[in-house]
């Protein structure tokens, strides 16, 4: 009875097999790493889009619910228009809006004084807990959009002329005493973002 000698793998064959497995493993790792990074990038992009959509929605809702209700300043010595925007102010815009939800039945009205400011590339929406606030009222602040390079708002008056501030410079004291005159008929919001370029939204103001 003859016995055949068992044949094993040669060193060259083992080295070739290890090399091929290493190449295959590296390829699989790079593929999985690319898929993971693509998913993270896509998720971040969708998150940024949702953040932007929410910020524009909040801004649009505030302007579309604009109410002709002036407020006293925090010192109680002057009156601010229902809509106030001035390049000399640190605020982007301040306005009185209606429709403030009161689901828990707090003893307050439905009007709300909202102020937008741009601080360190972050757009912040703040409001006091009462309409005619004093220095004792600490405003509630909320960051609504980050990485903002600039935000510009223009206001169309009843003559269909765009104004850079509100009330317009040519407005006189008599016209400001009329609530209707304190509201524009349209608003143009332009936001420049670090990662998404410039976005413009045109809104018609009811009333």
**Residue 125 CA: distances (Å) to CA of 46, 86, 119, 138, 144:** 22, 17, 11, 13, 7
Task: Write the DSSP string, 44-77.
Answer: HHHHHHHHHHHHHHHHHHHHHTB----EE-TTSS
pLDDT at 144: 95
Q: What does pLDDT average to over the chain?
A: 84
- Element at 122 (helix H, strand E): strand 122-127
Residue that has been written with the tokens 């690319």 in this structure: 34
Residue 189 tokens read as 């919001």
> Which pLDDT band holds residue 59 (cuts at 50, 70, 90)?
very high
Rounded Cα distance, 20 and 26, in Å: 10
Higher pLDDT pick, 134 / 93: 93
Rounded Cα distance, 64 and 75, in Å: 28
Nearest Cα neighbor of 132 from 88, 79, 183, 207 is 79
Its pTM stands at 0.77
Nearest Cα neighbor of 205 from 33, 34, 65, 74 is 65
Q: Tell me the pLDDT tens digit for each residue of 154-201.
A: 999 989 999 999 998 765 444 444 443 478 999 999 999 998 899 999
Torsion from C-alpha of 90, 81, 168, 189, nearest 10 degrees: 60
Rounded Cα distance, 130 and 133, in Å: 6
The burial of 158, by beta-carbon neighbours within 10 Å (0-12 exposed, 13-18 middle, 19 or more buried), is given as: exposed
pLDDT at 57: 93
Pick the CATH number of 60-204 from 1.10.10.10, 3.50.30.10, 3.10.610.10, 3.30.70.270: 3.10.610.10
pLDDT at 10: 79
């Amino acid at each position: 009875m003859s016995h055949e000698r068992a044949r094993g793998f040669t060193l060259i064959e083992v080295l070739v097999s290890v090399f091929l497995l290493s190449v295959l493993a590296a390829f699989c790792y790079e593929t999985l790493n690319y898929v993971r990074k693509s998913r993270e990038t896509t998720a971040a992009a969708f998150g940024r889009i949702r953040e932007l959509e929410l910020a524009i929605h909040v801004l649009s809702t505030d302007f579309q619910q604009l109410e002709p209700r002036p407020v006293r300043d925090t010192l109680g010595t002057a009156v601010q228009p229902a809509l106030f925007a001035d390049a000399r102010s640190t605020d982007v815009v301040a306005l009185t809006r209606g429709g403030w939800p009161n689901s828990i039945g707090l003893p307050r009205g439905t009007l709300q004084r909202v102020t937008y400011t741009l601080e360190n590339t972050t757009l912040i929406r703040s409001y006091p807990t009462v309409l005619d606030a004093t220095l004792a009222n600490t405003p509630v602040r909320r960051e609504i959009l980050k990485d903002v390079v600039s935000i510009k708002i223009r206001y169309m008056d009843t003559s269909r002329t765009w104004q850079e501030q509100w009330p317009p410079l040519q407005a006189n004291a008599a016209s400001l005493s009329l609530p209707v005159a304190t509201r524009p008929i349209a608003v143009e919001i332009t936001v420049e973002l670090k990662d998404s370029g410039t976005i413009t939204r045109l809104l018609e103001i009811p009333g």
